[in-house]
Amino acid sequence: MIRAIIISDDLTGALDSAAAFAARGCVTRVALSPEALDDGVDPDVDVLAVSTNSREAAAETACDAVAAVRAGLDRLGARAASAVMFKKIDSRLKGHVAVEAGALRHASQPVLVCPAIPRLGRFVSAGAVTGAGVAEPLPVAPACAGLSADIPDAGDDAALDRIVARAASGTLFVGAAGLAEALARRIAPGHEPVPPRLPAPALLAVGSRDPVSLEQLEGLSCIAAPNGAVPADLGPDDRPCRIVQMTQGDTTIPGAEAGAAFADGIGGHVRAARPATLIACGGESAAAVLRGLGVRWLALEGEALPGVPVARTRGLDPELTVVTKSGGFGARDTFTRLIEMLAMPEAATKRGAMP
């Protein structure tokens, strides 16, 4: 039986939320799109997460994407009937919060909204998101118009645990990684998280322009990809990790165009050089690269660092370890620590190209 179902508007959100369950021993799978549900869901899955890729889409498109997920879940029948339902939203309330939660909920289903992530310094106080990366308090209620939602405050993990414990049966939980972690602690309380291994060599692709990510790159040697154009030659491949950063070009082009070029270039290098690990910063960058490689499912293993999930590709030969990080999260030394965690094989062998 599936114990928890997570629906997120982007891939990094799906991974962030599901990581807490995987780290506690739950067999966790992540679908990169609603269409991937047509492949079927492995019989041993405890936690299922689905990315609708709808944060930047029009409201109508976002609603249709969530409806497609609901249809896929209905096909699972009794396997999904008693699962806890969690709608992952951006902790700074970006995207179509009310539209997507409204499309997911059943008639008269209670809704609880709390986008706090205490361990990353982001809280809900007096009904507003505050803390790290939030210049001014962001009221939650306007983003939840029409849901008649309970919007509790949460300043620490203990508060989130109490919120989950007192929630009515059948509640639709709406929130960020903090609320997902509280649900994981309740569903799998007897397991302590185990950090997954990161094999080297790695390719670190930074498609985010968030100031947090830019600060995390300071002091590191990066290969520039102006307007997303990844150089054909990334230099020597004997280093544990090569870093490619999307940068501003001499001319201005639409962000979507630059992002698509960046994803294509990174995907080409993954096929040619076959790194053991892809570290992707920026939700759309990660999703676009994986879609280009034909990946539809990920097997989630846990977190390398807080807010930095680790997964393995399904259906790709050879398997690729995938590490993702949202642009606006993480300590200043996040990239440095990830590089230090890479484990080089004892006997490095040159890898052939993917077909």
Whether 139 is in a domain gets the answer: yes
Of 138, 163, 187, which closes a domain? 187
Are 252 and 163 in the same domain? no
Query: Is 192 within the bounds of a domain?
Result: no
Domain check: are 172 and 240 in the same one?
no
Pairing of strands 122-125, 202-206: unpaired
pLDDT of residue 212: 87
Domain count for the chain, please give it: 2
What is the structure's pLDDT at 345? 56
**Do 203 and 178 share a structural domain?**
no
Q: Under a CB-based contact definition with an 8 Å cutoff, are residues 27 and 9 in contact?
A: no
- Please give the pLDDT value at position 69: 97
Note whether residue 282 is domain-resident. yes
Same domain, 169 and 260: no
Residues 256 and 175 in one domain: no
Residue ranges in the chain whose pLDDT is less than 50 = 346-355
Tell whether 66 and 153 lie within a shared domain: yes
Q: What is the CATH number of the domain that holds 242?
A: 3.40.980.20
Identify whether 349 is part of a domain.
no
Provide the token pair at 294.
């034909």
Look up the pTM and report it: 0.90
Q: Is-contact 122 116, C-beta < 8 A?
A: yes
Q: Is 175 exposed, middle or buried (0-12, 13-18, 19+ CB in 10 A)?
A: buried
Say if residue 170 is in the same domain as residue 279.
no
- Residue 348: inside a domain, yes or no? no
Where a domain ends, among 153, 187, 221?
A: 187
Both tokens of 23, joined, read: 């780290």
Is there a contact between 229 and 250 (Cβ–Cβ < 8 Å)?
no
The DSSP result for 199-238, as a single string, is ESSEEEEE----HHHHHHHTTS--EEEETT---S----S-
Asked whether residue 203 falls in the same domain as residue 167, the answer is no
Measured N-to-C along each axis, helices 97-104 and 59-76 cross at an angle, to the nearest 10 degrees, of 30
Judge contact between 221 and 352, C-beta under 8 A: no
The confidence score (pLDDT) of residue 352 equals: 44
Q: Determine the structural domain holding residue 213 and report its residue range.
A: 198-343
Indicate if 219 and 318 belong to the same structural domain.
yes
Read off the CATH number of the domain in which 78 is found: 3.40.50.10840
**Per-residue confidence (pLDDT) for residue 285, from 0 to 100:** 82
Looking at the structure, tell me whether residues 43 and 122 fall in a common domain: yes
pLDDT value at residue 344? 60
Does residue 351 lie in a domain region? no
Tell me, yes or no, whether 214 and 290 share the same domain: yes
pLDDT digits (tens, 9 = 90+) for 114-152: 999 999 899 999 999 999 889 999 999 999 999 999 999
